[in-house]
Amino acid sequence: MATDPIEQLEQTLADINNYQISNLEELEAFRIKYLGSKNILKPLSGLIREIPNEKRRDFGQLLNKVKKAAQAKFNETKEALEDAVASNVESIDLTAPAEPIELGARHPVSLVMNQMIEIFERIGFVVAEDKEIEDDWHNFTALNTPPDHPARDMQDTYYLMNDPQRLLRTHTSSVQARTMTTSKPPIRIIAPGRVYRNETISARSHCQFHQVEGLFIGEDVSFADLRQTLYYFAKEMFGASKIRMRPSFFPFTEPSAEVDIWLGTDTEDNRRLTKNTGWLEILGCGMVDPAVLENCGIDTEKYSGFAFGMGVERIALAKYDINDIRLLFENDVRFLSQFKSAANF
């Protein structure tokens, strides 16, 4: 370092001019060094005593110049840095597109269920939803399935806390009983929802699944109305050209039938869906047994009705060629994201 005081001042002036300041922290360091209460110019000004008289004036002027340079540099840099901060804020482009938000996909069960609902709504059915924790009466007894009735064996039931009166509903047919006891005909409902059965979980069956139940009660409702309603559904949902009804048994309907829809064997998809028969079984149905109507306080002299019920998972598995029902309950995004492009009902 130069020992001559004037040279020292000149060096300091050069240092000030070359000092690089790129942020407010560095500016503060600069202020402390050159303008603070213990700044390095203070000891330099004490050197005036070493200066011969005739040069003291020059020294004094140079010292002032250095101080002013430090102050000026501080002021200018401060302003420039503050401006930069302010203009940065303003430079946020509020019209720029936002970061994309990853869109989810509807669950295949929802896709199928919503499509079913939408089709029945078109012909005047309204959605009715009710309890998943049911009592024995609405799930069984009202539906003509008293205790010890062999039909109870068809549906292995989960009872709550070993209470024989409280159970997880085994079918959405329970909503029939709920609706008929609380509203007056005409009744035209579709009841989608979750049901439970004490079954071993495998690729083909699960202890929880979804059903869509339908119920139509009115004056002069006939089997032909049932058939036509289901034909309309089969046509809209699957593009089926015909349906067939096979006699069957359910405690709450008489007569009862199982319904197959004709998809044919022309396309590979349809051969797969129908196991090469052309026919796909989709639901159970029938005319509501007068005993059920009576249980629920509906005048059987005046009213009759039909009901039907179908499993949603079975149809989703068939429609999307899924070979294991468990996939529908695992919520693995690699599986679910495949339905992103499916129609968004």
Q: How far apart are CA 166 and CA 322, in angstroms?
A: 34
Q: What's the token pair of residue 156?
A: 């292995």
Q: Which is nearer to ligand DAH, 60 or 146 (CB)?
A: 146
* CA 339 from centre of chain: 13
DSSP label of 272: H
Q: How far is the CB of 137 from ligand DAH (least distance, A)?
A: 16
Q: How far is the CB of 114 from ligand DAH (least distance, A)?
A: 20
Q: Where in 264-303 is the site for ligand DAH (CB under 6 A)?
A: 284-286
Q: Which is nearer to ligand DAH, 196 or 339 (CB)?
A: 196
User: Which member of 169, 308, 315, 339 binds ligand DAH (CB under 6 A)?
Assistant: 308
Contact status: 209 vs ligand DAH (CB under 6 A): no
Residue number, nearest CB to ligand DAH: 309
Q: How far is the CB of 199 from ligand DAH (least distance, A)?
A: 12
Q: How far apart are CA 85 and CA 90, in angstroms?
A: 9
Contact in structure between 259 and 240 (CB atoms under 8 Å) = no
Contact status: 77 vs ligand DAH (CB under 6 A): no
Contact in structure between 184 and 154 (CB atoms under 8 Å) = no
Contact status: 171 vs ligand DAH (CB under 6 A): yes
Strands 187-196 vs 126-127: parallel, antiparallel or unpaired = parallel
Contact status: 193 vs ligand DAH (CB under 6 A): no
User: Which member of 309, 313, 317, 325 binds ligand DAH (CB under 6 A)?
Assistant: 309
* Among candidate residues 55, 71, 329, the one with its CA nearest the CA of residue 201: 329
Q: How far is the CB of 336 from ligand DAH (least distance, A)?
A: 26
Q: How far apart are CA 298 and CA 293, in angstroms?
A: 5
The angle at the Cα of 76, spanning 73 to 79, to the nearest 5 degrees, equals 145
Task: Using the structure block, give the residue that is written with the tokens 């501080």.
Answer: 74
Contact status: 213 vs ligand DAH (CB under 6 A): yes
Q: How far is the CB of 286 from ligand DAH (least distance, A)?
A: 4
Contact positions vs ligand DAH (CB under 6 A): 171, 173, 213, 250, 253, 284-286, 307-309
